[in-house]
Amino acid sequence: MHELAITQSLVSAVCERVGTSRVTRVHVTIGRLSGVVPDAVRFCFDVCAAGTPLEGAALDVDEVPGRARCRACGVEENLADAIALCRCGSADLEFVAGRELRLDQVEVI
């Protein structure tokens, strides 16, 4: 479960930035095509935050749907996963959204 390592890195990065300030909320963006399962990050967050300035903080996750543009016909479509075909049958897709994994905002008091 690589989400545990990702969540540990997220908590560490926030701790390095905020020092001893108490964190009340963390907002992240996770794309559907990133390979990261948002529910697993949510599950790991409280465990990783225990004993840090993030303990008790809320985790807000913005989930971005996968989107790709077909290089053959130009159609842009939503994708459920990274293994996909366009309606025209082409597999030559350019991913335009959904690969994000980003720390967007941290609220401190």
Q: Look up the CATH number of the domain holding residue 26.
A: 3.30.2320.50
Residue 20 is assigned to a structural domain of this protein: yes
What is the number of structural domains in the chain?
1
Residue 78 is assigned to a structural domain of this protein: no
Q: Is the pLDDT of residue 38 over 70?
A: yes
Whole-model pTM: value is 0.87
Q: What confidence tens digit (pLDDT) does each residue in 61-108 have?
A: 999 999 999 999 999 999 988 888 999 999 999 999 999 999 999 999
Residue 81 is assigned to a structural domain of this protein: no
Structural domain of 10: 2-65+97-108
Residue 89 is assigned to a structural domain of this protein: no
Q: Is the pLDDT of residue 55 over 70?
A: yes
Q: With the C-alpha atoms ordered 73, 74, 79, 81, is the resulting torsion angle positive or negative?
A: positive
